[in-house]
Amino acid sequence: MRPLHLSSLLAGSIVLLGATPNVARQMCKPGLSVTEARISEARNMQRTWTATVNADASHCSTTSGQFEIEFTRLKESAPDMQFTERFTWVQGQMKISLDVWWDEWVENYRVARVGPCSCRN
């Protein structure tokens, strides 16, 4: 039984050592900042929340990726609601938008999660 235990340990070590280069790949995240957020007047029973997002991905090897914004929505006839929307960032400056009903308002928003990217060498 003891030789079987040693061979299992040796086999497990080889698997771990073989996987190390892939596991060791360094991951980064782009810096995101939201500016110039506003909400439109109601048109056709809807409003549009828009914002400018600046993405600094200079240390990433990719030029786009996923991120999420968490919103707090106010509604005249319902409780406040928190929800998350997924967007795609691109290097530089971009516009994002979210449609809500005419009786809703975006009270708060924050970048909740930014997907990692591979670091530039």
What pLDDT, on the 0 to 100 scale, is given for residue 9? 47
pLDDT single digits (tens) 38-48: 999 999 999 99
Q: What is the CATH number of the domain that holds 86?
A: 2.60.40
Residue 49 lies in a domain: yes
Residue 6 lies in a domain: no
Total domains in the chain come to 1
Structure confidence at residue 120 as a pLDDT band (50, 70, 90): confident
Structure confidence at residue 6 as a pLDDT band (50, 70, 90): very low
Residue 14 lies in a domain: no
Domain that holds residue 77: 26-118
What pLDDT, on the 0 to 100 scale, is given for residue 121? 75
pLDDT single digits (tens) 19-75: 444 445 578 999 999 989 999 999 999 999 999 999 999 999 988 999 999 999 999
Average pLDDT, integer, range 68-97: 95
Residue 1 lies in a domain: no
Average pLDDT, integer, range 69-87: 95
Average pLDDT, integer, range 3-30: 56
Residue 18 lies in a domain: no
Residue 82 lies in a domain: yes
Residue 19 lies in a domain: no
Spell out the residues 6+ positions from residue 110 whose beta carbon is closer than 8 angstroms to its own.
Answer: 69, 70
The mean of the pLDDT values for the chain is: 84
| pTM for the whole structure | 0.73
How far is the C-alpha of 54 from the C-alpha of 43, rounded, in Å?
28
The end-to-end CA distance of the chain, in Å, is: 47
Is residue 100 predicted with pLDDT exceeding 80? yes
Residue 21 lies in a domain: no
